[in-house]
Chain A
Amino acid sequence: MGVLDELTTKAGGEDAVGGVPARLVAAPRDTTEAAALISAAQGLSVVIRGGGTKLDWGVPPRELDLIIDTRRLTGVVEHAAGDLITVVRAGTPMAELHDLPGQQLALDAPPAATAGGTVAANASGPRRLRYGTARDLLIGITVVRPDGTITKAGGKVVKNVAGYDLGKLYTGAFGTLGLITECVFRLHPVPAAAIFVRATAPPGHAARVLAGQFAASACEVNAAPGAEPELAVLLEGTPAGVRERAAAVAELLDGEVSGTAPEWWDVLPWPDGGVGIKLTGRLSQVPALVATAVGAGATVRGSAGAGVLYAGFPPDGEGADAVVEAGRAVELLRAAAVRACGHAVVLTAPDGVRDTLDMWGPVPGLELMRRVKDQFDPHYRFAPGRFVGGI
């Protein structure tokens, strides 16, 4: 029996990505086994599956032979509390990293999402305003390249400028450059106190919060057609400091101090079967982006402090009408994003609609990106067609 036979099993009905069924599935136990698997899988097209929480998002693969599942690549290898770092295997659920003793990996991602999937998707939530995103918190990484080579970049210390910072390249690459098997993250102390200020206020008022001396950890907007827009601000720190700042923000926004987040906090604003779009732009353009999206019928949530918003449209009937509607909405939002010097990326859309949309929109530097892909995966076998420009 060859290595491939030993390490893979026949795919079942649920082993599909974006409606494309796989032939084989594998769940390697460690980096070495993953490298053996990938070396033996030369010639096969591969998609990596983490928690599978959002695997159906994005463009379906052009072809699919093998799903590599990270469900056995789990566990915290090291938590060096004194150094505020942790080394984790890629399949480790984020739930395990949200509260390490006294410390946290400060990335908002669904608890069932994996560390590797979160890095590969560069997922982020409200607290990116204070802590940054996976790109900022990842300090070291182990990857098995599409040719089976095991390679590391970065290290275990936060400050490090030796060689290229390849962790950045794998972050947000959606598994097109190889399988992430291990990640080293920078951690943050769990703040002694955290309080929210909730207000009914237009998105433009977020600018007042940002310009003040409140050091907000998050500043989120929520707006929908026919409803009053809301703002919610998260303040973290010492109990006394947080109370004082929260009172000041509440006064500024004419809002209320609360121990809990609003129910829409860190919840993407579309139901299953809807259309979800990520919108970015200049901070000063956030109100305009929100207005355009709400005008087009979307519910909009996201970070007014970081300039990253999510617009969601509910499932909109069937067939041709839905396609036309979604196409129009994407066009409208993309134009608004361009005016705001940002981007509109379609994260998810119903099956029939998805194929008609340009999911990624215009991408600067695409030619260079192709050249990077050519180097790492010359036969375009890893997540073929899932990424920008058909990469």
Chain B
Amino acid sequence: MTGIDALAARLRAAIGSRRVLTDRQQLRTYECDGLAHYKVIPALVALPGTAEQVAAVVRECAAAGVPFVARGSGTGLSGGALPHADGVLIVTSQLREILDVRPEDERAVVQPGVINLQVTKAATPHGYYYAPDPSSQQICSIGGNVAENSGGAHCLKYGFTTNHVTGLEVVTPDGDLVRLGGPAPDTPGYDLLGAFVGSEGTLGVATEVTVKLTRLPETVRTLLAAFGSTDQAGAATSAIIAAGVVPAAIEMMDALAIEAAEAAVRCGYPAGAGAVLIVELDGPAAEVDAQFDEVSALCAAHGAFETRIAADDTERALIWRGRKSAFAAVGRISPDYIVQDGVIPRTALPEVLRRIGEVAAEHGVRVANVFHAGDGNLHPLVLFDDTVPGQADRAETVSGAILDLCIEHGGSITGEHGVGVDKARYMPRMFSDADLDTMQLVRCAFDPDGIANPGKVFPTPRLCGERPGRRQGAHPLHEQDVAEVF
């Protein structure tokens, strides 16, 4: 019996045979996450049904010295849930219960496999919702959100997962069940909860999550403003922020992204726009109305030649439709593309967009820009045709150069998709050896044997045959219409 067979037998004994998969066909289902060009078939898949079972699986892994990788819904875009060929993939799909909803405490307690949107659905009847809204929210899991510190279009005002999780139960890499934080804020001691959020599965497995619930706003108002250029739209964004307005969201699309969206969903954005801004304000009606007038005026002052205001939810959905479809839509105008995710200071927007254009032109590829303008989180889509020799490599060069631009301007190599396997090699461009070494201290405290999701986040030799950052065509989740990409 090989080591893995022996481990499989022990896992079956610990959590029941139907919760342990060893059949190669079944294992193949889990070979990749949302970044589908990295593929590894795991040695085993475990589907624990309780936190204790997760702990039992991890204990067996620790005893056998076998690595494990947690997986939620597998929508991650950095290969974070990529399995380990000799390891166990711990899938949380059997942990989908909402355990407690307490509007009076503004908290809900959920299992890690619970889908993001389900939390909001459970809270809405009470007048509350779960604020972090990644655009994959119809399918991604709360455990995955915790691991990635996911954000959404509305995190400009409301913050990210880390600002909305107050308690966790985690299984540490040696198989202990530990509570970090709780329903109350400011738990004494080190903020290990804060360190765990965003650690991409390298510090253990979250088995229960206590989240904040946010009061539904009284009013939501949305406008679409069309500009001649991204420079103008960028200046309008800065002016809105400078005026002291904190919108719920400010999103921008450039001409190429608009073209793609029009081709795909005929969103009917103003013709001839070099850029559009979508601005959403929410809160008490009197506040929102006053600020809305200010935003409209600022857009006009910065060259908006047309402004549309959503009169109702249907019109709001229409405005968002073009934005939400943009990534998938790019598949209409280019056979292949790379989705990049980087962050720059908002004020550097015009300069960086210009430089991206120049770099793209130098290498003969096109870049469409669709992004969270309010917080400077860029999602450049680098378009290429894999059948044209050399184009893929050029696209990749451009994609990498965009990250360098982000770093050069004091930004980050990832704003929401995480490092995973995909960007581990870029970490040394953003952090010094000492900085990375300090992160390792935390890693060593949690996981001295390095069995929790090894090979992710921190730079390691590249995997064989990997082709970073590249995706062919639209994501299957778009095609099935289950997820929209922001």
Contact = CB atoms under 8 A, between A and B. Distances in A.
Given A238-B287, A375-B442, A82 B178 contact: no
B150 to A, nearest CB: 8
B345 A156 contact: yes
A280 B181 CA distance: 12
Contacts of A157: 343-345, 375-376, 410-412, 415
B442 A163 contact: no
Given A211-B127, A368-B445, A369-B189, A307 B184 contact: yes
Interface in B168-225: 172, 176, 178-180, 182-195, 197-199, 215, 217-218
A237 to B, nearest CB: 5
A284 interface: yes
Contacts of B155: 159
A347 B179 CA distance: 23
A25 interface: no
A341 interface: yes
B383 to A, nearest CB: 24
Contacts of B185: 133, 280, 306-308
Interface string A136-169: 1000000101000111110111111111111111
Report which residue of A143, A150, A237 has the largest number of chain B beta carbons within 10 angstroms of its beta carbon: A237
A308 B127 CA distance: 23
Interface in A217-259: 237-238, 240-241, 244-245
B435 interface: yes
B445 A372 contact: yes
Contacts of B244: 102, 189-192
A43 B442 CA distance: 23
Interface in A90-135: 102, 122, 124, 132-133, 135
A388 B189 contact: yes
B400 interface: no
A81 interface: yes
B189 A214 contact: no
A361 B160 CA distance: 30
Given A83-B346, A83-B347, A210-B106, A343 B188 contact: yes
A236 B415 CA distance: 30
A205 interface: no
Given A169-B190, A241-B286, A343 B184 contact: yes
A283 B104 contact: yes
B178 A169 contact: no
B71 interface: no
Interface in A263-287: 278, 280-284
Nearest to B245: A189
A367 B197 CA distance: 19
Contacts, number: 266
Contacts of A368: 172, 178, 180, 192, 445-446
B410 A365 contact: no
A342 B284 CA distance: 31
A164 B375 contact: no
Nearest to A280: B184
B431 interface: yes
Interface string B430-460: 1110111111011111100000000001000
Given A81-B242, A151-B438, A159 B284 contact: no
A172 interface: yes
B113 interface: no
A165 B195 contact: yes
A373 B189 CA distance: 11
A82 B415 contact: no
A159 B416 contact: yes
A299 interface: no
A65 B267 CA distance: 69
Contact of A166 (B183, B243, B427, B439): B439
B464 interface: no
A363 interface: yes
Contacts of A163: 419, 427, 430-431, 435-436, 439, 457
Range for the number of chain A residues in contact with chain B: 35 or more
B320 to A, nearest CB: 20
Interface in A363-391: 363-369, 371-376, 387-389
Contact of B192 (A83, A240, A281, A372): A372
A335 interface: no
B162 A162 contact: no
A193 B213 CA distance: 27
Nearest to B418: A161
Contacts of B413: 162
A159 B107 contact: no
B410 A155 contact: yes
A361 B419 contact: no
A45 B149 CA distance: 36
B241 A160 contact: no
Contacts of A151: 432, 434-435, 437-438
A155 B411 contact: yes
B414 A372 contact: no
A206 to B, nearest CB: 11
Given A163-B439, A342-B182, A369-B189, A152 B431 contact: yes
Contacts of B199: 164
B286 A244 contact: yes
B161 to A, nearest CB: 9
Interface string B391-423: 000000000000000000011111111110001
A143 B375 CA distance: 26
Contacts of A375: 441-442, 444-445
Contacts of B127: 211
Contacts of A306: 185
A152 B431 CA distance: 8
A360 interface: yes
A298 to B, nearest CB: 18
Given A82-B238, A82-B346, A238-B291, A160 B183 contact: no
B191 A135 contact: yes
A122 B190 CA distance: 11
B163 interface: yes
Interface string A43-84: 000000000000000000000000000000000000011111
A361 B193 CA distance: 19
Interface string B233-250: 000001001111110000
Contacts of A284: 102, 104-105
Nearest to B243: A189
A345 interface: yes
B159 A162 contact: no
Contacts of A166: 195, 438-439, 442
A131 to B, nearest CB: 10
Given A159-B377, A172-B190, A345-B188, 19 more contacts: A83-B345, A145-B438, A150-B434, A152-B431, A160-B415, A161-B160, A165-B195, A169-B195, A172-B186, A214-B284, A237-B287, A238-B286, A282-B107, A341-B182, A364-B179, A366-B189, A368-B172, A372-B442, A375-B442
Closest 10 CB pairs of A and B: A168-B194, A189-B244, A342-B184, A241-B287, A82-B347, A241-B286, A213-B218, A160-B412, A375-B441, A371-B445
19 contacts: A82-B346, A83-B345, A102-B244, A153-B435, A153-B438, A153-B439, A156-B410, A159-B155, A160-B343, A163-B457, A164-B439, A169-B195, A171-B194, A172-B190, A213-B217, A240-B286, A241-B286, A245-B284, A340-B184
Interface of B: 102-107, 127, 148-149, 151, 155, 159-160, 162-163, 172, 176, 178-180, 182-195, 197-199, 215, 217-218, 238, 241-246, 283-287, 290-291, 343-347, 372, 375-377, 410-419, 423, 427, 430-432, 434-439, 441-446, 457
